[in-house]
Amino acid sequence: MKEDPIDAVPWRRADAPARLLAIRLQAFGDTVLTFPYVQALQRVWPSVRIDLLTRAEYAELPRDLELFNRVFALGGGGSPKLQQAFGLALAPCLMMRRYDVVLDLERNRISRVIRRLLRPAAWAAFDRFSPRLAGERTRLTIEALGIALPPVYPDLQLKRDLGTAVLGRAGWEPRVELVVLNPAGRFSTGNWPLENYVAFGNLWAARRGRDTQFAVLGLPSLRPKADYLRARLGARLLDLVGRTTTSEAFSILRRASLILSDDSGLMHLGWVAGTPTLALFGSSRHVWSAPHGNYSMCLHSGDLPCGACMAAECRFGDVHCLTRYAPELVVEAAATLLRRVETTVKVISQPPTMPVTDAAKRA
């Protein structure tokens, strides 16, 4: 896999820029994972006003975050031609805001055209292909502006309380441990077997020795899987599929003690929310997409000759890369992860010379 150099013109003035536009358009999970890094950038330049340009489908959550001053929604759905037309229509409004810096975290034809039209004094464009985690490539893109990022924490703040009422209607008990189960892999090669999720739930509840509630949430397409889990886990499962907005889901995930998930957008959302995240990657390329930081763990296929194949169907017919992870093993991994989280400050990324402390987090 080739290295993709970061194109950039650094910010050369001693004072901070006044306005910055961040652009991320494609893939919900890849969009939300950039937010903690942009927040770390704001700790370097606390006076900068940060706007975001993203797909209309993804605009709700950033609009509910304290981080962004304005969020511009790009229409056109998944059509590049329509996206480009909507981008050109938005360009005059964006040009009037006179951005000093454009942080292009997409680096495609649309984002490149918009950046050139805006003519910022400084800009940096995302490395799309290097064999590094997406978060690491995001960090390097931001640092190409000529700054060094401080530790990156999963501490995004919502403008208002969300999710509590939805949880309450579903039967949530606030004093009971909440574990999110997310069997939402896009293809069969990314799906840990549903019966394994059930076995995990039973084993986890028995191990914890106390009441545990489980939750499943996400798009309506997850309905058959949610019904399967509900039939086997009974009243312990809170069924929130199709019943939350993205912002409500983010708020709910912040209340969970753990998310066990296939590779999916909700997995990234839980990780960005700061929920201890145990991810199961079958055919997915974990060197690009795995959650990272000291509060996450990824059981992946990278050690296998056929691993990270990115195929929609297993050529051997058994999806061994996922089925080899038995529920008992996953329970042990989850317990190990939670023990680690209990004794550390959650951090996504940190400079090697800067220790992570509560004081550093407040800086």
Residues 123 and 177 in one domain: no
pLDDT of residue 355 exceeding 70: no
Query: Has residue 236 been placed in a domain?
Result: yes
Distance in angstroms (rounded) separating the CA atoms of residues 102 and 345: 31
Distance in angstroms (rounded) separating the CA atoms of residues 131 and 4: 9
- What are the tens digits of pLDDT across the range 236-265? 999 999 999 999 999 999 999 999 999 999
Query: Has residue 359 been placed in a domain?
Result: no
Query: Has residue 354 been placed in a domain?
Result: no
Domain that holds residue 50: 8-143
Mean pLDDT of the chain: 93
Residues 257 and 132 in one domain: no
pLDDT at 361: 46
Residues 70 and 38 in one domain: yes
Q: Are strands 237-241 and 177-182 parallel, antiparallel or unpaired?
A: unpaired
Query: Has residue 159 been placed in a domain?
Result: no
The region of weakest confidence among 14-18, 49-53, 89-93, 163-167 is: 163-167
Residues 173 and 309 in one domain: yes
Among candidate residues 104, 98, 124, the one with its CA nearest the CA of residue 19: 98
Residues 84 and 171 in one domain: no
pLDDT class of 6 with cuts at 50, 70, 90: confident
Residues 186 and 285 in one domain: yes
Residues 137 and 191 in one domain: no
pLDDT at 3: 54
Among candidate residues 136, 140, 139, 94, the one with its CA nearest the CA of residue 117: 94
Residues 215 and 82 in one domain: no
Beta bridge partners of 125: 104
Between 209 and 300, whose confidence is greater? 300
pLDDT of residue 29 exceeding 60: yes
**Number of structural domains found in the chain:** 2
**Per-residue exposure over 308-339, b if at least 16 CB sit within 10 Å of its own CB, e if not:** bbeeeebeeeebebbeebebeebbebbeebbe
- What are the tens digits of pLDDT across the range 103-116? 999 999 999 999 99
- Give the end of a domain, one of 76, 110, 143: 143
H helix intervals, 278-326: 286-289, 320-323
pLDDT of residue 57 exceeding 80: yes
pLDDT at 350: 86
pLDDT class of 4 with cuts at 50, 70, 90: low
pLDDT at 209: 77
Residues 280 and 226 in one domain: yes
Query: Has residue 89 been placed in a domain?
Result: yes
Q: Is residue 157 classed exposed, middle or buried when 0-12, 13-18 and 19+ CB atoms within 10 A define those classes?
A: exposed
pLDDT at 294: 96
**Per-residue exposure over 200-226, b if at least 16 CB sit within 10 Å of its own CB, e if not:** bbebbbeeeeeebbbbbbbeeebeebb
pLDDT class of 319 with cuts at 50, 70, 90: very high
Query: Has residue 199 been placed in a domain?
Result: yes
Q: What percent of the chain has pLDDT over 70?
A: 96
- What are the tens digits of pLDDT across the range 198-238? 999 999 999 997 789 999 999 999 999 999 999 999 999 99
CATH number, domain containing residue 313: 3.40.50.2000
Q: What is the DSSP code (8-state) at residue 5?
A: P
Residues 181 and 325 in one domain: yes
Among candidate residues 4, 5, 29, the one with its CA nearest the CA of residue 246: 29
pLDDT of residue 360 exceeding 50: no
Among candidate residues 35, 41, 18, 34, the one with its CA nearest the CA of residue 99: 18
Sheet holding 237-241, edge to edge: 237-241, 212-218, 177-182, 258-262, 277-280, 296-299
Distance in angstroms (rounded) separating the CA atoms of residues 281 and 299: 6
Query: Has residue 353 been placed in a domain?
Result: no
pLDDT at 278: 98
Residues 195 and 269 in one domain: yes
Alpha-carbon dihedral sign for residues 113, 117, 118, 122:
positive
Query: Has residue 278 been placed in a domain?
Result: yes
Amino acid at site 156: L
pLDDT at 1: 44
pLDDT at 357: 46
With 0.85 as the threshold, say if the pTM is over it: yes
Q: At 20, is the secondary structure helix, strand, or coil?
A: strand
Residues 203 and 138 in one domain: no
